[in-house]
Structure 1
Amino acid sequence: MERKRITLAERKGVLTKLFFSTLYLSAFTFGGGYVIVTLLKRKFVDEYHWIEEDEMLDLVAIAQSAPGAIAVNGAIVVGYKLAGLLGVVTAITATIIPPFVIISLISACYAAFRDNLIISLMLEGMQAGVGAVIASVVYEMAYVFYHGRDTASMILMAAAFVAGCVFGVNVVIVVLAAGAIGVVRTLAARRKEAVK
């Protein structure tokens, strides 16, 4: 993964922005790792213009394919892209602080939270919001494929959806199969260029 060359002063500014951005996103992202994807895109692609949109899709694919929480994996790949290993450490630290603090507080007061009607209703409402955010992520990622006119990627995306949602194929198998197809397509394209 290629990184941009930046000066020491720029790197310090990037690390500071990276820390507070990922801290903010992690603190206010409810509903799991998929929700953070659209927020990462809005912050780092749309607002800061640090990453290109198609590059963000690649980073999300890496984060999704690696074991572990997608929020942390996303922070790792974005942090590395922006500032190398120091960016990784900065992004991971900022990403894990809010959940660590919140879960620690909730676990200390679990009995009170579990039986509280207002908290229960609030969590049910959040589930609906999370569903909408995940649908937004799917739409934005599919939009890039559609406007990129990459027919093979669109077919692969549709096949992966059908395999997972209609036929109940395990997500690990879908991801590994899509990765293998991607490798074959890349090798075939390189061979074709070499022949020319």
Structure 2
Amino acid sequence: MQLNKLKVYFLLFRFSFSISAFTFGGGYVVIPMMRKYFVKDLKLISEQELLEMAAIAQSTPGAIAVNIAVLVGYRIAGLKGAVITCIGTILPPIMILSIISFFYQSFRDNNIISSLLKGMEAGVAATIVDLLIDMWQGVLKEKNLLLTLMAPFAFLANFVFNVNVLYIIIFCSVLCLAQSFIKNKLGGVESE
């Protein structure tokens, strides 16, 4: 039993470290990688659990990548798992930033590194689009008209009409709470 726990801790550290070390572009890029390792390969969590953790990670203060890693670690191995995945996630950026700060002048003036970072932007964009498509498919499977229409209307409100994102989030939250309240009320009436 102790060996299995150590194996799980090692897997959590290894995957969170490698995901953090080899993904560029922020927290949203981490989600497809976590899905690949923790949902599809290891089958330690479900797709729905990962999406719920992503929603929680987005709404809590701090970096999304660290937040979701901590939630995944906690779900798989409790508090120790959360600490292990947190360390595994923050260690690569700390190491990379330490090296870059030591050689800052050389990195700043190097055209190859500048070009390499520009090229990574395209890969990050493609990964985020893939994640959005997967999340949208999950919303469509819910067969909830409010959720299906919410994303395009939120996009239009922000992109076309320049409505502040904070107002969009508050409005959508109120709509979802109202829908949940109404469903619970109707569900309570039907069961009586």
* Same fold per superposition (TM over 0.5): yes
C-alpha separation in 1, matches of 2:170 and 2:94: 31
> What is the Cα deviation at residue 19 of structure 1?
1.1
Q: SS of the residue aligned with 1:49?
A: coil
Aligned residues: 190
Quote the residue 1:3 is aligned against: none
2:167 aligned to which of 153, 165, 173: 173
Opposite residue 45 of structure 1, the aligned amino acid is V
Quote the residue 2:117 is aligned against: 123
Match runs of 1:1-196 below 5 Å: 10-196=4-190
Deviation digits for residues 65-101 of structure 1, max 9, x if unmatched? Answer: 1111110111121112112211211110100000000
Opposite residue 51 of structure 2, the aligned amino acid is L
> What is the Cα deviation at residue 193 of structure 1?
1.4
Confirm or deny: 8 A CA contact 1:72 1:92 kept in the other structure.
yes
The change in CA–CA distance for 1:103 and 1:50 in structure 2 (over 3 A counts) is: same
The change in CA–CA distance for 1:179 and 1:50 in structure 2 (over 3 A counts) is: farther
> What is the Cα deviation at residue 130 of structure 1?
0.9
TM-score by length of 1: 0.88
C-alpha separation in 2, matches of 1:184 and 1:14: 41
Confirm or deny: 8 A CA contact 1:76 1:91 kept in the other structure.
yes
**Structure 2: which 5+ residue stretches go unaligned?**
none
> What is the Cα deviation at residue 194 of structure 1?
1.3
> What is the Cα deviation at residue 121 of structure 1?
0.8
The change in CA–CA distance for 1:60 and 1:193 in structure 2 (over 3 A counts) is: same
Percentage of identical aligned residues: 39
**Structure 1: which 5+ residue stretches go unaligned?**
1-6
> What is the Cα deviation at residue 188 of structure 1?
2.1
C-alpha separation in 1, matches of 2:186 and 2:2: 42
Q: SS of the residue aligned with 1:183?
A: helix
> What is the Cα deviation at residue 142 of structure 1?
0.6
